Amino acid sequence: MSKAMEKRRAARKLALQALYQWRVAGASISQIEAEFAVDNDLQQVDRDLFKAVLYGVPSSVSELDALLQPFVDRKLTDVDPVELSLIRMGAFELRSRIEVPYRVVINEAVELAKQFGGTDGHKFVNSVLDKLAPQLRQAEVAAAKSKKK
């Protein structure tokens, strides 16, 4: 894994922790960012990605939830906070960071779910984002599927 990939993975991990804190504790995003800057070595993460996700998810949470809800079999408020943060992060990246391949977005979210989520949380995250990807990245998903044939 390249150094840049490691920094992006570390940024997603920190962003997940920050979004979890935002959801559970209700702290402001700027306060959370300040705490994370003190508590973590931000030289080891892709700070642009960290900040994009940290600020992007809360500022567009209503839109992200509207995109996600059709693919979730219960109210989003009933979803585990870690898994909810992950599917929101994934939806944000699928929608707003088109330079990142959709498979990378899904894989990174699944790997974080395996590390931090419940027993089958990774399956839930994979299922939701796999259903959402064709809606947000129609041409990219279609091209990937046609290569498989």
Type of residue numbered 60 = S
For residue 59, give the CATH number of its domain: 1.10.940.10
Instruction: Look up the domain containing 41 and give its range.
Output: 3-148
pLDDT in tens, 69-114: 999 999 999 999 999 999 999 999 999 999 999 999 999 999 999 9
Specify the pLDDT at position 60: 97
Number of domains in the chain: 1
pLDDT in tens, 7-19: 999 999 999 999 9
Look at residue 39 and tell me whether its pLDDT is greater than 80: no
pTM for the model stands at: 0.92
